[in-house]
Amino acid sequence: MSMHSLLQRFAPLLVLLALGLCIGAVNHDFFDPMNLARIAISAAIPLTIALGGTFVIQLGSIDLSAEGIVAVSAITVSMLVGNSYNDNHYGLWVLAVAIAAGTVLGLANGVLHVFLRIPSFIATLAVGFVATGIGTAWLSGNTIRVSDTALRSIAITRYAGLPLSVWIGLLALGVAWFIYRHTLLGRHTLAVGGGEDLARLNGVRVRRVRIAIFALAGTFYGVAGILAVAQYGQGHALIADGQLFVAITAIVVGGTSLAGGNGSPFNTLIGTLIVVVLGNGMVLLGVPPYVQQGIQGVLIIVAVTLALNRSHRRIVK
């Protein structure tokens, strides 16, 4: 492996280390175990969303429905466990219902995209809006407070100093890595992203792969919805506001090309940590919130520029 390709491969990790060392040098609180735990907690939800999005981007598509799907899953959980809105108290088996809701909406993305031949960004944008609309109408714009202690314990109960939500995020990473590395679906996803016609000639069932990946992404968003309710103790239609931007930034900053055909869950973990560490560092250094958003915007532009240089595309779409 040449020095250049090694550098490209490990660039995001080097950026993360450099960022951490720089922030830590200016403010020693950065390396405080409490702060590192805070970073891990902040990363759990965006990581879970970004893992789902990574598979879609590997296809060369894009999924803009994450915020809406996370909201529907979050509201589903909130409505079915002990809450301030109704008398339901079905216990933790409803987590499966929330994940199923995410999967079904993801499946809708895939079916619309594949069978109606609508570009993925339009299909997913529409599904995301519909999902947010369903969530808002369902609650008449209200917020549900969740009183279920078992669900709240996901964000509170700690193992080895980290709440269960962080371990669930890591479990999601493990599942994503297994699918990426050890399944036919994972290999076929990269094949479709690398060149759909070639994949089809090699016997890949492209339409089936596309639908499966959008449904899989929805499953990850469903898990993120559960984590969001556990963390915030409430469910409402805008619970995932701003998470899509963070997730796509994380995927791109991690070095996954928007053209498709490359990237891995581990890259996405590094990208998520870069975004979260940057946000955490800016808070520690007292940077105003509106400046923080600007800096994140610049980060995306720089990352996309570097990613596009790698893919040497004649056509930008």
Q: What does the pLDDT read at residue 307?
A: 60
**Mean pLDDT, residues 2-30:** 86
Distance between start and end Cα atoms, the chain? 31
CB atoms within 10 A of CB 167: 17
Quick check: 76 pLDDT over 80? yes
pTM above 0.85, yes or no: yes
**Candidates 3.10.20, 1.20.58, 1.10.3470, 2.60.120; CATH matching 3-307:** 1.10.3470
Question: Among 63-72, 105-114, 229-238, which is the least confidently predicted range?
Answer: 229-238
Quick check: 315 pLDDT over 50? no
**Mean pLDDT, residues 71-88:** 86
CB atoms within 10 A of CB 317: 7
Q: What does the pLDDT read at residue 309?
A: 55
**What whole-number percentage of the chain has pLDDT above 90?**
65
Give 189 or 289, the one with higher predicted confidence. 189
Measured CA to CA, the distance from residue 112 to residue 29 in angstroms comes to: 48
Rounded alpha-carbon distances, angstroms, from residue 306 to 19, 57, 136, 252, 255: 18, 16, 39, 10, 8
Measured CA to CA, the distance from residue 198 to residue 282 in angstroms comes to: 45
Q: What does the pLDDT read at residue 8?
A: 72
When the pLDDT of each residue in the chain is averaged and rounded to a whole number, the result is: 90
Summarised one tens digit per residue, pLDDT across range 131-143 is 999 999 988 888 9
**Mean pLDDT, residues 207-223:** 97
